[in-house]
Amino acid sequence: METTDKTAKQIYFDVKANPHRKKFGFGRKAVLVNIDPQKAYTCTDEFKTAYETDPRQMEYINALAEQFRKLGWPVVWTHVAYMASGEDAGIWGTRTDTEDSLQNIKFNSRRSEFDDRLQIDRERDVIYLKKMPSAFFETQLQSLLVWHQVDTVILTGGSTSGCIRATAVDSLSRGYRTIVPEQCVADKHESYHYANLTDLLLKYADVEDVEDVLCWLQRQG
C-alpha cells in the first residue's frame, strides 16, 4: 500500500492535474439527477446534518436544470423521508436514534423539504422518494433513463461520500457515462469530500468543473 503525508484535498488536485488522466467523456444525451438537496442536508444554520462545500452549489444546480429543460432533457430530484416508525429505513436506521438520525427525517417535516433556493419545475421535472443511498435503488430512475434514451448521467447534491458515490457506482454499473460537476456536490468534511472525489475520478466517473458541464450543454441541440 502506498503511503503519503498529503491531505485528501492535495491528493485530489494532484490526480485532477494529471495530463494523462483518461476520461469516459460525455455521450449524446444526459439526465440530471439532483440527489437529496433537502433542508436536512443544506440548511447549515439549522440542522447538524447539513453541510456546504461551495456556497454557490444551489445556484449552479439551478443553472444546470435550466439548460436541461431548454434541451427537453430529463431533470430528476430525489429526497429521503421515512414513516413515523422508521421501519422503512431498515437496518440503515438502527445505529442511532436522535432527532438528527436518518430515520427521523419524517414525511412532511422541514428536514424532508427541498432547499428553498432550488428552482424546481413540479410539472416538468421528475421527483423520486428514495430510502437508500443510491438514486437507482428501488426507484423508477432506470426506467426513466431507458425511456429518454440517455447515455450520460450527471449527478449533483450530496453527500459526496454517500449518496453521490453510491449512485455513481450504480450508474457506471448500468453502462452510463457518469459526470460529477465538482462545485455541485458537498459533504460534511473536506477529507471525506475530496477522498471520494478522487475515488470517483479514478474509477467511476468524470469529475468536471461545472462551467465545463454548462458549456457542453449549451453546445447541444
Catalytic residues: 163
- How far CA 186 is from CA of 11, 22, 164, 201, in Å, comes to 17, 24, 9, 15
DSSP the chain: ----S--HHHHHHHHHT-TT-------S-EEEEEE--BHHHH-TTT-TT---SSTTHHHHHHHHHHHHHHHT--EEEEEE-B-TT-GGGGGGG-S--STTSGGG-BTTSGGGSBPTT----TTTSEEEEESSSSTTTTSSHHHHHHHHT--EEEEEEE-IIIIIHHHHHHHHHTT-EEEEEGGGEE-SSHHHHHHHHHHIIIII-EEE-HHHHHHHHHT--
Rg (CA), the chain: 17
Q: Contact at 8 Å (CB) between 51 and 185?
A: no
